[in-house]
């Protein structure tokens, strides 16, 4: 059987019972991730094509399945017809790789054994073999450590913000930071919404915002993984639940500036894309943030240079933002002649 289903069925914990039923009742031959634009404008739901063989697997049987990723077919997000189609290439990729039955892969797909599936997650991009290969190439020169390991070692703390409700928007001047207010390692000069002093006091202690905390977008498809570092000018804020707050608890062992730089490295960005799954109509990284593998340079001189450069960028931009605010205020100021 071949069937088109929402890809979220194969990644979200709330749907795990469906995957368990399939695993117990049949064999998964292949799972092909389709482009998000495939059914737009009617729905933004990301889909996959699932091929299932109506043969219950034997107890503890470890069989091989194919996972593929279609980047282009049909039309783009604006409805423009795409002149080429990855689907026939997926067909050839499947035939070639299944004949090899090993760890080979190409840009369209790869093989995965049932025993290699983690937590009943069957989303192809989650197992991108190219990411694994790139991380292994960094191993001789970098310490590869997961976010979860840093949390377990007491070096990092992760929390999220709060939803204060739309009725609180515009009640005062204190910034309420949303995902769209984070860009280029910093907060925007003019956050879209502000809240009153009373609302700020209601959440201030719980959110406990401090200088050098890192905000990272958790939910929101295209913005997931976007980060900024808070400076001394940014601590009087509240932030929403779609944002993580990361705090380096022992800066001498894990510099927050090094952490910011590493979170923005291409290999970590690729991991974020691989681990963000569609939930309803938006993507989320969710608890999978702890699985991110951070490549920390072993060379102390390189680490120090990255820390100093990042610190200079963050502080320099903070001062420029303050100057920009001052200029804007001066326009409407009244001075006695």
Taking the C-alpha atoms of residue 237 and residue 310, their distance in angstroms, rounded to an integer, is 23
**Over the stretch 26-35, which tens digit does the pLDDT of each residue have?**
999 999 999 8
292 vs 36: which has the higher pLDDT: 292
Identify the pLDDT of residue 334.
64
- Average of per-residue pLDDT across 56-83: 87
Question: Which pLDDT does position 12 carry in this prediction?
Answer: 85
Can you give the chain as a three-state secondary structure string?
CEEEEEHHHHCCHHHHHHHHHHHHHCEEEEEEECCHHHHCCCCCCCEEEEEEECCCCCCCCCCEEEEEECCCCCECCCCCECCCCCHHHHHHHHHHHHHHCCCCECCCEEEEEHHHCCCCCCCHHHHCHHHHHHHHHHCCCEEEEEHHHHHHCCCEEEEECCCCCHHHCCCCCEEEECHHHEECEEECCCCCEEECHHHHHHHHHHHCCCCCCEEEECECHHHCCCEEECCCCCCCCEECCCEEEEEECCCCCCCHHHHHHHHCCHHHHHHHHHHCEEECCEEECHHHHHHCEEEEECCHHHHHHHHHHHHHHHHHHHHHHHHHHHHHHHHCCCCCC
Among 114-118, 136-140, 325-329, which is the least confidently predicted range? 325-329
In this structure, the number of other CB atoms found within 10 A of the CB of residue 159 comes to 14
- CA distance readout (Å), 107 to 24, 110, 118, 122: 30, 8, 22, 18
The pLDDT tens digits of the residues spanning 150-164 come to 999 999 999 999 999
User: What tens digit of pLDDT does each residue of 269-284 get?
Assistant: 999 999 998 876 688 9
Q: How many CB atoms lie within 10 A of CB 255?
A: 22
Question: Predicted confidence band at 244 (pLDDT cuts at 50, 70, 90)?
Answer: very high
Using the predicted structure, report yes or no on whether residue 335 has a pLDDT greater than 80. no
pLDDT at 321 over 80: yes
Model pTM? Answer: 0.91
Strands across the sheet with 238-239, in order?
193-195, 174-177, 238-239
Domain 2-127 fold is Rossmann fold (3.40.50)
| Predicted pLDDT at 336 | 55
At residue 103 the predicted structure's pLDDT band, cuts being 50, 70 and 90, is low
Question: What is the pLDDT confidence band of residue 83, given thresholds at 50, 70 and 90?
Answer: confident
Q: What is the CA radius of gyration of the chain?
A: 23
Q: What are the residue ranges of CATH 3.40.50.150 in the chain? A: 2-127
What is the predicted pLDDT for the residue at 332?
74
pLDDT number for residue 25: 92
pLDDT of 189 higher than 60? yes
Mean residue pLDDT across the chain? 92
CATH number of 142-331: 3.90.220.20
Domain with CATH 3.90.220.20 in the chain: 142-331
């Amino acid at each position: 059987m071949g069937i088109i289903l929402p890809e979220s069925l194969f990644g979200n914990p709330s749907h795990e019972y469906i995957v368990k039923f399939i695993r117990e009742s049949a064999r998964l031959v292949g799972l092909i991730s389709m482009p998000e634009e495939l059914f737009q404008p009617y729905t933004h739901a990301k889909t996959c094509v699932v091929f299932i063989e109506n043969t219950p697997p034997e107890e503890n049987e470890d069989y091989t399945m194919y996972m593929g990723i279609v980047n282009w077919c049909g039309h783009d997000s604006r409805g423009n017809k795409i002149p080429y189609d990855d689907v026939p290439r997926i067909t050839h990729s499947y035939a070639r790789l299944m004949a090899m039955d090993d760890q080979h892969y190409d840009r369209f797909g790869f093989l995965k054994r049932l025993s290699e599936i983690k937590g009943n997650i069957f989303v192809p991009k989650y197992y991108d073999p190219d990411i694994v290969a790139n991380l292994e190439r960094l191993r001789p020169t970098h310490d590869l450590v997961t976010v979860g390991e840093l949390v377990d070692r007491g070096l990092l703390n992760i929390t999220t913000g709060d939803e204060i409700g739309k009725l609180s928007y515009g009640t005062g001047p204190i910034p309420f930071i949303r995902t769209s207010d984070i860009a280029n390692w910093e907060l925007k000069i003019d956050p879209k919404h502000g809240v009153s002093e009373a609302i700020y006091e209601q959440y201030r202690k719980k959110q406990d915002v401090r200088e050098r905390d890192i905000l990272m977008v958790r939910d929101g498809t295209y913005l997931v993984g976007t980060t900024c570092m808070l400076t001394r000018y940014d601590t009087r804020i509240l932030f929403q639940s779609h944002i993580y707050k990361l705090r380096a608890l022992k800066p001498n062992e894990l510099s927050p500036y090094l952490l910011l730089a590493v979170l923005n490295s291409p290999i970590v960005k690729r991991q974020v894309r691989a681990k963000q799954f569609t939930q309803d109509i938006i993507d989320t990284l969710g608890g999978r943030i702890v699985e991110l593998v951070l490549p920390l340079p072993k060379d102390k001189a390189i680490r120090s240079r990255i820390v100093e450069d990042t610190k200079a960028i963050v502080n320099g931009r903070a001062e420029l933002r303050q100057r920009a605010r001052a200029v804007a205020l001066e326009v409407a100021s009244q001075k006695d002649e």
